[in-house]
Amino acid sequence: MRRESRRSIREVLVSLPSLFWLSLFFIIPTLFVFAIALKPANPYGGIGSGWTWDNFRSLASPNYLIVAWRTIWISILSAAICLFLAAPIGYYLARVSARWKGLFLMLIIVPFWTNFLVRIFAWKVLLHPEGAIKKVLAFAGLVGPQTSLLYNAGSVVLVTVYTFLPFTILPIYAAAEKFDFQLLEAARDLGAKRFQAFARIFLPGIRRGLLTALLFVFIPALGSYIIPDIVGGPSGEMIGNKIAQRVFVDRNLPQASALSVVLILSILAPLLAVLFLQRKREKPESLL
């Protein structure tokens, strides 16, 4: 009995620093966001007294709805492209010899040691009207002189894929490493076409990796701010830009909080869905 209680005192002591810090600087700030979303703004950029639903009512304006819809489709499209590219790469990395595997993994990770802003800036330069890609495409006659590659939703998708692709490759590769490739040979022996075997045996086999990868790109994409800020322009704006505008341009903190509440809730939905899927799928397997 004394041993038990000494153990639990020690547990609380060791857990206390992080519990304290994260409660103070993570949980409580999140509660403040929810509370301030229900406060009126005062004209001096501060928070007024009393309570109101107005900050949420004004979210129904068409301006916000367009941006919300764009945020969703940009995130879905970016996640889909990432998974589409990462699945064959994960497959390749799991099958190639150890020496090449190490080299390729290194080559995939190295560019992402560079600063996030610098990478986005590099794309801004590349996609610029005077930049290399525009020149090549114009020379090949694929785009007219007036077409802009920069400042639209397409450039946001491109840079989002660029930023998050490594984070989708790694979990898919980790899952593919554990996949039993003899299953593919068996499927081929039984007459499956190569793509059939890939789609119906390999992809379901690395399901957990695919779901993790999906979260790694979809959730940060929903909260994207700096990518659309630098390469998006007005026609590439996302929810994150709206939050930043309310904070930095018109200093309306309650409105910014209301937008953040919507973002928090829209992130919880896919997160819980994936957790649920992973749990549901696991049970029958653990019986085997």
Partner 1 sequence: MRRSRFPFIVTLAVLFFFYLPIIILIVNSFNASRFESGWQGFSLMWYKRLFHEPEIWRAAKNSLLIAVFATAVSLVIGTTAAVALHRFARSRLQRFHFGLVYMPLVVPEILMGISLLMLFVAVGVELGLFTIFLAHVTFCISFVAMTVLARLQDFDESIIEAARDLGAAWWATTRRVLLPMLLPGLVAGGLLAFTLSIDDFVITFFVAGPGSTTLPIRVYSMIKFGSPPLINALSTILLAVTFTAVAASQRLSRTKR
Site residues for partner 1, 242-271, by CB under 8 A, read 243-244, 247, 253, 256-257, 260, 263-264, 267, 271
Contact between 93 and partner 1 (CB under 8 A)?
yes
**Least spacing, CB of residue 210 vs partner 1, in Å:** 15
Name residue 241's amino acid: N
How many residues belong to the site for partner 1 (CB under 8 A)? 78
**Residue 41, strand partner residues:** 47
Residues 30-59 that bind partner 1 (CB under 8 A): 30, 32-33, 36, 46-47
Choices 6-14, 49-57, 66-74, 139-147 (CB under 8 A): range interacting with partner 1 = 6-14
Contact between 131 and partner 1 (CB under 8 A)?
yes
Q: Which of 57, 178, 194, 207 touches partner 1 (CB under 8 A)? A: 194
Q: Which of 153, 211, 230, 258 touches partner 1 (CB under 8 A)? A: 230
Residues 137-166 that bind partner 1 (CB under 8 A): 162, 165-166
**Least spacing, CB of residue 222 vs partner 1, in Å:** 7
Each residue 195-224 as x (binds partner 1 by CB under 8 A) or -, in order, gives --------------------x---xx-xxx
Residue placing its CB nearer to partner 1 in the complex, 223 or 288: 223
Contact between 273 and partner 1 (CB under 8 A)?
no
Contact between 128 and partner 1 (CB under 8 A)?
yes
- The DSSP-derived string for 59-96 is GGSHHHHHHHHHHHHHHHHHHHHHHHHHHHHHHHHHHS
**Least spacing, CB of residue 69 vs partner 1, in Å:** 18
